[in-house]
Amino acid sequence: LHHKNLVKLIGWCYESDELLLVYEFMPNGCLDRVTHTQDKKQIGKEKASFVLHWERRQTIVCGVAQALDYLHNDCSRRVLHRDIKASNIMLDSEFNARIGDFGLARMFKLSEKTHHSTKEIAG
């Protein structure tokens, strides 16, 4: 999976029955941290009042939408993330959104039905 709004996997290692994944560093953490932190001065190098102005919010939402469109329509196989939430939306140095944590994701052939119902709430 390669898209500007997905966190890039840099490498992996499988050793002693443990799988380790190495992803690119996201200096502004996750969207959850930005929207729920008590001390917004700790976020990036910007002042709190500028962290999530409306243009930035729109950029984040559009980035997530573009990533989901890619996963659902532009991959050779459809990918359903199944765990989109603020803590799985990472923010790069420019506060661009990147979706991460594909632990619950499922892949489908383009011809397969993609409607899926879950009975449990994850994380």
Mind telling me the catalytic residues?
Answer: 83
Half-sphere exposure of residue 110, counting CA atoms within 13 Å on the CB side? 5
> Which runs of E-coded beta strand occur in the chain?
9-15, 18-23, 77-80, 89-91, 97-99, 106-109
The first and second tokens of residue 73, run together, are 């329509």
Kindly state the helix (H) or strand (E) to which residue 68 belongs, with its residue range.
helix 54-69
